[in-house]
């Protein structure tokens, strides 16, 4: 058992239980597989065209609160009673941010693990974390959140006997995702559309990456699974925006049946 004090008066008690891990379910042609591209400009795009962005909106006020409390703390005399009180307020503000982020990521990872049997993500160590547009705040949020999201997905999947396949990030953005087309399309950060001169495919840049991720996983482990074809995805060429609020309020990015 671990007991942790947050410095803001809140306590956390962690009970550790040994739960036997189920065996990994075999990958068969009936498995539902999804590829997920994590990027700075929109938190996540999956290979079926769902796009979750503006995580910043959910957390922005909480960041602002931290900055405010930090500023106030810097004006207090170090070690004084008021300084101690202010330090508590700052710790509370940090905790609120952490809790909101974790709540969102727990729900999101749970929904993907419940819906799919195999989840393919990029190996974050091989991904260029500076790639992508966005402010420092956006990058900061993204870096934290990606790591937390992928570790939550891995943990929940292993509890369910499901598999997470990590894919090297090399060229997932450049390569054309149309099966049979091996063209590489160089892109600037502001190029939001993948336009292939070889095969004529025009799709959202991040959707193209997510399809490359799922197809790499299929070529690695996908016994009998057929490759995902970009134009068979639900949205054809673009993505469908899923509001962060839907994940928070309904507990899932997927539309209720
Ligand atoms: Zn192509």
Per-residue pLDDT of 5-26, as tens digits, reads 777 777 888 888 887 888 888 8
pLDDT at 178 over 60: yes
Q: Quick one: average pLDDT of 182-187?
A: 91
231 CA to middle of ligand 1, Å? 12
Q: What is the dihedral of CA 134, 139, 141, 146, to 10 degrees?
A: 110
Domain boundaries, the chain: 2-246
133 CA to middle of ligand 1, Å? 25
Question: What pLDDT does 79 receive?
Answer: 93
Neighbours of ion ligand 1 (CB under 5 A): 176, 178, 181, 183, 196, 198-199, 201
179 CA to middle of ligand 1, Å? 8
pTM of the model: 0.85
Please give the full DSSP string across the chain, using - where no structure is assigned.
Answer: -EEEE-SSS-EEEE-----PPPPPPPP-TT--EEEEEE-SSSSEEETTSEEE--HHHHHHHHHHHHHHHHHHHHTSPTTSHHHHHHHHHHHHHHHHHHHHHHHHHHHHHHHHHHH-SEEEEE-GGGS-TT-S---HHHHHHHHHHHHHHHHHHHHHHHHTT-EEEEE--TTTTTB--STT---B----TT--EEE-TTT--EEEHHHHHHHHHHHHHHHHH-TTPPPPPGGGSTTTTS-EEE-HHHHHHHS-SSPP-
pLDDT grade, residue 128 (50/70/90)? low
172 CA to middle of ligand 1, Å? 13
């Amino acid at each position: 058992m671990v007991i942790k004090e947050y410095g803001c008066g809140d306590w956390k008690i962690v009970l550790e239980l040994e739960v036997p891990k189920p065996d990994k379910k075999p990958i068969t042609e009936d498995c539902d597989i999804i590829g997920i591209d994590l990027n700075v400009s929109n938190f996540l795009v999956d290979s079926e065209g769902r796009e979750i962005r503006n995580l910043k909106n959910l957390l922005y006020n909480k960041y602002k609160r931290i900055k405010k409390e930090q500023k106030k703390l810097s004006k207090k005399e170090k070690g004084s009673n008021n300084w101690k009180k202010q330090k508590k307020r700052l710790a509370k503000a940090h905790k609120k941010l952490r809790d909101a982020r974790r709540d969102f990521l727990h729900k999101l990872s749970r929904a993907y693990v419940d819906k799919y049997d195999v989840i393919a993500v990029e190996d974050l160590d091989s991904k260029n974390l500076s790639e992508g547009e966005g402010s420092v705040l956006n990058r900061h949020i993204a870096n934290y959140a990606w790591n937390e999201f992928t570790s939550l997905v891995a943990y929940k999947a292993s509890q369910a006997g499901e598999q997470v396949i990590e894919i090297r990030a090399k060229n997932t953005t450049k390569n054309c995702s149309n099966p049979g087309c091996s063209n590489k399309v160089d892109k600037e950060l502001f190029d939001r559309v993948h336009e292939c001169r070889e095969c004529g495919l025009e799709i959202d840049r991040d959707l193209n990456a997510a399809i490359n991720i799922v197809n790499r996983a299929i070529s690695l482990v996908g016994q009998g699974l057929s490759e995902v074809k970009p134009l068979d995805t639900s949205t054809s060429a673009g993505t469908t925006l899923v509001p962060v609020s839907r994940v928070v309020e309904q507990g899932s990015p997927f539309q209720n049946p």
